[in-house]
Amino acid sequence: MSEEGLLYSLKHVVVGKPIASSHAHHERLSRITGLAVLSSDALSSVAYATEEVLRVLILAGTAAFSFASPIAFVIAAILAIVVFSYRQTIYAYPTGGGAYLVSKDNLGELPALVAAGSLLIDYILTVAVSIAAGVAALTSAFPDWHLSRVELTLGFVALLMIGNLRGIRESGRIFAIPTYFFIVTTLLLVGVGTWRALAGSATPFPSGEPLATTFQPLTLFLLLTAFANGCTAMTGVEAVSNGVPAFQRPESKNAASTMLVMAGLSITMFLGITLLAQWYHVMPSDKETVVSQLARAVFGGGFPYYAVQAATMAILVLAANTAYADFPRLASILARDGYLPRQFMNQGDRLAFSNGIVGLSLFAAVLLVAFGGDTHALIPLYMIGVFISFTLSQAGMVVHWRKARVRQWRTNAAINGFGAVVTGVVLVIVAFTKVFEGAWIVLLLIPAAIVVFKTTKTHYDHVAAQITLRGYAPQRRFHNTVIVPVAGLTRPVVEALRYGESLSDDVRAVYIDVEPGQTEKIKLEWYMWGGRSQLVVLESPYRSLMEPLLQYIEDVERERPEDYVTIVLPEFVPARWWQQLLHNQRALLIKGALLFRRNTVVTSVPFHLLR
Amino acid sequence: MSEEGLLYSLKHVVVGKPIASSHAHHERLSRITGLAVLSSDALSSVAYATEEVLRVLILAGTAAFSFASPIAFVIAAILAIVVFSYRQTIYAYPTGGGAYLVSKDNLGELPALVAAGSLLIDYILTVAVSIAAGVAALTSAFPDWHLSRVELTLGFVALLMIGNLRGIRESGRIFAIPTYFFIVTTLLLVGVGTWRALAGSATPFPSGEPLATTFQPLTLFLLLTAFANGCTAMTGVEAVSNGVPAFQRPESKNAASTMLVMAGLSITMFLGITLLAQWYHVMPSDKETVVSQLARAVFGGGFPYYAVQAATMAILVLAANTAYADFPRLASILARDGYLPRQFMNQGDRLAFSNGIVGLSLFAAVLLVAFGGDTHALIPLYMIGVFISFTLSQAGMVVHWRKARVRQWRTNAAINGFGAVVTGVVLVIVAFTKVFEGAWIVLLLIPAAIVVFKTTKTHYDHVAAQITLRGYAPQRRFHNTVIVPVAGLTRPVVEALRYGESLSDDVRAVYIDVEPGQTEKIKLEWYMWGGRSQLVVLESPYRSLMEPLLQYIEDVERERPEDYVTIVLPEFVPARWWQQLLHNQRALLIKGALLFRRNTVVTSVPFHLLR
């Protein structure tokens, strides 16, 4: 059993003390802090969205770059539609309306589980993509570190995991720094870049190592792929609508304003970076990000350049960190509904969240290793989950308005309906253009997640039916026969015998006779140490210790069917963890063999080793 | 606890039923069967020894090949010395004298542990090297399979592991076939080859792909390296001296004759193959073994060629199989002496041997993967352990004769002393020439093994002192306070309460108040289901379920220091293994938290789920 003890102490050391109820409600968010806390995911995606568009267009030659700005404007328009659509969710679900809750309320179980599966996968990918992009910002500034890309990403995952296990509280002030630092540096980049471009002092940036590509014709499919890639700019916009109850009063109004500001910033930065990339002739490269090249071109290196890179990396790590709050929270809601194991359910201790945090980190680490820590390789997986949850969430809102029939419900339903159609179309485009690039993994993982949810739920339902007291007539047993397997007379054995005697007046010490000399010795010593227990010596023709013992227990049960049978085992509690490997093997075997026997209870009497 | 049950059933399925005592003694060996059973390891090494010599000499150009036969004669002479030296062990230790036992008897603990560590590593390498060489014989005949070399070796390891877990008994008849098949085909190869060479009809064999090498001058170091490689021909000669008690009466005499026959065969085959390789100008290659090229040159392909390859492969797999008997046997002896965990000690069930078999297979598999299933790469690791045990064993015999002072003890001591000096010199040469080629791994592993042995022994000694009844005055406790943590009223909880009431008249059901409504419900239901148990409701300011419970248990212990405190937990026994993941998490935590508390016993009352 020491492993459990070890596990527990380990968790306690890493995780820290439980949180008091009073600490659970952290300070309410103002609009300023709300923007910082809830928009890092949405804003940070502009760091890689433009690059993902250009990487596709370059396949058709640099002339195709002229399509970048029309695509960016379409994406900006859709982003505006999505934000207006989500604004309505903020007012309709002032207690927080995630895609799972909205779908469950309005669309039923299966759509809700599709949304839940998509969201969990989405959170994992948020961690993987944001950290990969953050490391790309780092290695752009310090190209020597490029070779250790995977190691760097895993280092960040480990840092976030440990930080969250120990419990970084979502303190607005700490979060405000990187978010506003990013907003300021990026707006400065866009502003100075535009001014220089308009003033005619923009000089094309000579890319060190442009991407090696094989030429492809400029097809509709290529343009749709570029568009789908650019839609990464939209990831994370829903965060504000999930976090409504965290705002100061009036919660919905503050959240809605924050969301509008976030959308304005997001659109400005995305369009700005895309237009500048065209003006400055930035070429996507495997060694340096587009934003890094742009910053170098606009500022010519030096402090402003490093500030842009540092801000980009900081907000991307922050964005990854938001998934560390979202994933365990959704897992906890799913566990409460019976769709995930109970250990994900928050029950006061931090433990429940710890399981979610460790799970999230492991999955993200697997993805980062499998895809070589490459943002670009991970993007095709990212979009599917995001747009499934967008679409389901908006569709759920349409049903919500039809049921609620508040004033203006037709207008509201129309806005959300339009949002659902637009995001649905994007979803189809993403699935169509990305399925062979890796999106198939997610298209398999979502049904797999749903199978897990349904199986878990079914099992808990079955258990509930089996443990109910309704119609239960317990069979009363009063007497207890205690059996203590004995391999020799030692302190732990004698202590087990004495404990057994405190339970019952019928304690039987069972000794297996494999060495005749030993048996005589035990019989002699029994007068001294046997107490009220009766010594039973069993023959073992096959020299096996287990078979005769199990046979004897069966005999006792048959002899006294109205009794409990309790097997009392002495168990060493080692002083150091590795000593566990040297003890208790037989106890483990006996427990394993008796596990499926009814009315047999196995008890371990601990004997604590001092060294 | 289901994992243990699963583990146990799994072991039972794979391992099969326990062995009856009567089966444990297999039939005694005649000289004919004894040679088959005990010499496969020694004889099989001629399949690769010549090649290992040539692979070194070729570095100095083909002219250096003329040194192959002098080296082979020196090795043959040393082999004869070693065999004469071991012949004395056979008479001195008629119950079997392995290097560990001889060293322990005569040299003391540390040399014995050095021998034990060397032997365990030696057995692992016997498996790895023999299987690698066996697969080389196979891929020489079927070159297309060369690419799957590592997979093939792992397949053979898996086969041997499963076969030995299920219990292939060492039946002389089955073992006789490959051994005598190998002896016959190899002697035929040597005979026909020599006849054709003397008759002048030997034609140089054009090697397909000779080894690509960089030229080195013919230094003494190179010659010593070639010599050290050739000494692999000696591995396994000690097997007969370990197996004396398995022979028919007179055991020692039969064993000694068998050893002489084995030595004669081994020397004939090794010298024959080496001389033929020179005459037929066989060049070592990465694609085809020397023996395969030789057989092709002598027989010109066809049935006799495939017979040689099949026989070589069969005896090598058989040689690997001998380690599957030796490793668990030595581990069992070490465990009996307290140097390895008790689970390696044979206690009637096959389980003890199973641990050894699985351990051996895993280590061998790791080596095969790490060294790409390449015999040549593994050889440098092999020799160190073999010659350490040779040297210690012979040195131990010298001390034995000095102590025994039988007739002719001076002569006997001189023979073993000469053997010890010769093997010791070989050991130094092997260590000197091989240390940077991989032998350093073994030179680190042997001390590591000794640390494990000593630590284990020290711990068991400490435990023995802690559990002795000498001077033990147990504190008598009579009363038992039973605590049942209760999260709600369900069948498993009510069954746990009833069980608790069979143990004590003081049963306290502890409920943690986290939801006020629930608490009222439980209090109402208590009249119906509470029985003789007392309901204790605890407040939890931090919403934690664990902290108040642990606090309460501590209070009870302080209140009744003379009592046992028994925590009774309902525990789900799932119908399917994966359901275990969905239950018992809190029980696990409670057990872990209580593990290090004295006088607190935790009992699980199983509740069997039907689905």
pLDDT in tens, B58-76: 888 888 888 999 999 999 9
Q: Which two tokens stand for residue B596?
A: 């290090």
A500 to chain B: closest CA residue: B503
| Predicted confidence (pLDDT) at residue A287 exceeds the cutoff of 90 | no
Question: Which one of A460, A591, A601 has the shortest CB-CB distance to B605?
Answer: A601
Q: Where are the alpha helices (DSSP H) in A337-408?
A: 351-370, 375-404
Please tell me the predicted confidence (pLDDT) of residue A506.
92
Q: How far is CA B475 from CA A157, A498, B472, B562, B581, in A?
A: 53, 9, 9, 9, 40
DSSP for A572-588, written as a single string: EE-SSGGGGGGS-HHHH
Q: How far apart are CA B47 and CA B233, in angstroms?
A: 9
User: Phi/psi at A585 (nearest 5 deg)?
Assistant: -65, -40
What gap in Å lies between CA A48 and CA A291, rounded to an integer? 8
Residue A565: φ, ψ to 5°: -115, 125
Q: Give chain B's count of helices (H) and strands (E).
A: 23, 5
CA-nearest residue to A464 within chain B is B490
Structure token digits, residue B29: 């060996």
* Structure-token match 């993509």, residue found: A129
Contact of B290 with B54, CB cutoff 8 Å: yes
Cα separation, A115 vs A445, in Å, equals 12
Band (pLDDT 50/70/90 cuts) for residue A26 is low
Give me the helix-helix angle, B290-299 and B251-279, nearest 10°. 70
Inter-chain CB proximity B595 and A2 less than 8 Å: yes
Asked if residue A388 lies in contact with residue A114, where contact means CB atoms within 8 angstroms, the answer is yes
**B592/A4 CB distance under 8 A:** yes
For residue A19, the chain B residues in CB contact (below 8 A) are 542
Nearest residue of B to residue A3, measured between CA atoms: B592
* CA geometry: angle B79, B85, B86, nearest 5 deg: 90
- Inter-chain Cβ pairs, chain A and chain B, closer than 8 A: 214
- Please report which confidence band the pLDDT of residue B4 belongs to, taking 50, 70 and 90 as the band edges: very low
Most B CBs within 10 A among A354, A458, A513, A543, hence the mutation to make, goes to A543
Q: Which of A160-164, A261-265, B23-27, B65-69 has the lowest mean pLDDT?
A: B23-27
Lowest-pLDDT range, A451-460, B491-500, B510-519?
B510-519
Q: How far apart are CA B49 and CA B582, in angstroms?
A: 57
Contact of A41 with A261, CB cutoff 8 Å:
no
Is the peptide bond prior to A250 cis by the omega test (within 30 degrees of 0)?
Answer: yes
Cα A321 from Cα A37, distance rounded (Å): 10
The kind and range of the H/E element at B606 are strand B600-608
Residues of chain B in contact with residue A592, where contact means CB-CB under 8 angstroms, are 1, 4-9
Distance of residue B7 Cα from the nearest chain A Cα, in angstroms: 8
Least confident of A26-40, A68-82, A89-103: A26-40
Helix, strand, coil percentages in chain B from 3-state DSSP, rounded to 5? 70, 5, 20
Residues B584-594: tens digit of each pLDDT: 777 888 888 88
- Type of residue found at A313: M
Range of lowest pLDDT (A203-212, B118-127, B530-539): A203-212
Does residue B415 register a pLDDT over 80? yes
How far is C-alpha B360 from the geometric centre of its chain's CA atoms? 3
Which one-letter DSSP state was computed for residue A541? T
* Average pLDDT value for chain B: 86
Q: What is the pLDDT of residue B510?
A: 94
Is pLDDT above 60 for A83? yes
A30/A255 Cα distance (integer angstroms):
9
Residue B44 near residue B217, CB atoms below 8 Å: no
Considering only CB atoms, B598 lies closest to which of A24, A579, A608, namely: A608
Is the separation of the CB atoms in B179 and B47 below 8 Å? no
Residue-level pLDDT at B209: 66
User: Containing H/E element for A444?
Assistant: helix A439-467
Which of B20, B492, B603 minimises the CB distance to A541?
A: B20
Would the CB atoms of A341 and B581 count as touching at under 8 Å?
yes
Task: Give mean pLDDT, residues A532-546.
Answer: 84
More confident residue, B186 or A147: B186
Cα–Cα distance between B10 and B3 in angstroms, integer?
Answer: 10
**Structure confidence at residue B349 as a pLDDT band (50, 70, 90):** low
Instruction: Work out the minimum CA distance from A100 to partner chain B, whole angstroms.
Output: 22
**Continuous segment of H or E residues that includes residue B271:** helix B251-279
Using CB atoms, which residue from B469, B495, B541 is nearest to A489? B469
pLDDT at residue B52, rounded to an integer: 92
Question: Are B611 and A492 a contacting pair at CB < 8 A?
Answer: no
* Optimal mutation site among A502, A577, A581, A608, interface B, most CBs of chain B within 10 A: A502
Q: Chain B partners of A478 at a C-beta cutoff of 8 Å?
A: 502
A597: left (phi over 0), alpha (psi -120 to 50) or beta: beta
ipTM: 0.76
CA B551 to chain A, closest CA, distance in angstroms equals 15
**Quick one: pLDDT band at residue B600, thresholds 50, 70, 90?**
confident
Confidence of residue A207 (pLDDT cuts 50, 70, 90): low
Q: Distance between CA B35 and CA B259 in Å, rounded?
A: 8
CA angle (A41 as vertex; A39, A43 as ends), nearest 5: 65
Amino acid at A80: A
C-alpha–C-alpha distance, residues A275 and A507, integer Å? 86
Is the pLDDT assigned to residue B412 strictly greater than 70? yes
| B544 → closest Cβ in A349, A467, A499 | A349
A164-199: pLDDT as tens digits: 887 655 555 667 788 999 999 999 999 999 998 888
Confidence of residue B53 (pLDDT cuts 50, 70, 90): very high
Confidence at residue B100, expressed as pLDDT on a 0 to 100 scale: 92
- Asked if residues A378 and A129 have their Cβ atoms less than 8 Å apart, the reply is yes
Pairing of strands B600-608, A600-608: antiparallel
Contacts made by residues B405-412, CB under 8 angstroms, sequence distance 24+ = B412/B88
Chain-chain contact of B603 with A601 (C-beta, under 8 angstroms): yes
- Give the tokens for residue B423: 């093997």
Cβ contact (<8 Å) for B545 and A598? no
User: Which of A343, A455, A545, A584 has the highest number of chain B CBs within 10 A, making it the mutation to test binding with B?
Assistant: A343
Q: Please tell me which of the candidates B18, B343, B456 has its beta carbon nearest to residue A585.
A: B343
Residue (of A323, A266, A319) closest to A119 by Cα position: A323
Q: Does residue A255 have a pLDDT over 80?
A: yes
- Looking at the partner chain, which of A349, A474, A589 has a beta carbon nearest the beta carbon of B8? A589
At position A256, the amino acid (one-letter code) is A
CA triplet A595, A596, A597: central angle to 5 degrees? Answer: 95
Model confidence pLDDT, tens digit, residues B429-483 = 999 998 888 889 999 999 999 999 999 999 999 988 888 888 888 777 778 899 9
Strand partners of residue B515: none
Task: State how far the Cα of A71 lies from the Cα of A229, in Å rounded to an integer.
Answer: 10
| Residue B84 CB neighbour total at 10 angstroms | 16
Q: Backbone dihedral region of B63: left (phi > 0), alpha (psi from -120 to 50 degrees) or beta? A: alpha
pLDDT tens digit string along B230-257?
999 999 888 888 888 888 888 889 999 9
pLDDT reported for residue A111: 94
Interatomic CA distance for residues B606 and B512, integer angstroms: 22
Please state, rounded to an integer, the average pLDDT across all residues of chain A: 86
User: How would DSSP label each residue in B16-84?
Assistant: -SPPPHHHHSPPPB-HHHHHHHHSHHHHHTHHHHHHHHHHHHGGG-GGGGGGHHHHHHHHHHHHHHHHH
Cβ separation of B607 and A463 shorter than 8 Å?
no
- Tell me if A417 sits within 8 A of A399, measured CB to CB: no
Contact A348 B598 (CB under 8 A): no
- Measure B69 CA to nearest chain A CA, in Å: 51
Say whether B542 and A596 touch across the interface (CB within 8 A). no
Name B507's bridge partners: B482
Each residue's pLDDT tens digit, A45-66: 999 999 999 999 988 888 888 8
Which residues sit opposite A601 in a β-bridge? Answer: A566
The partner residue sitting opposite B542, judged by closest CB among A18, A504, A603, is: A18
3-state secondary structure B276-302: HHHHCCCCCECCCCHHHHHHHHHHCCH
CB contacts, 8 Å: B467 with chain A: 490-492, 607
Length of chain A in terms of residues written: 611
Q: What is the pLDDT of residue A208?
A: 62
Of A348, A490, A545, the CB nearest to B469: A490
pLDDT at A17: 45
pLDDT of B25 over the 70 cut: no
Does residue A421 carry a pLDDT above 80?
A: yes
A127-136 pLDDT, tens digit per residue, is 999 999 999 9
Q: Contact B514/A572, CB-based, under 8 Å?
A: no
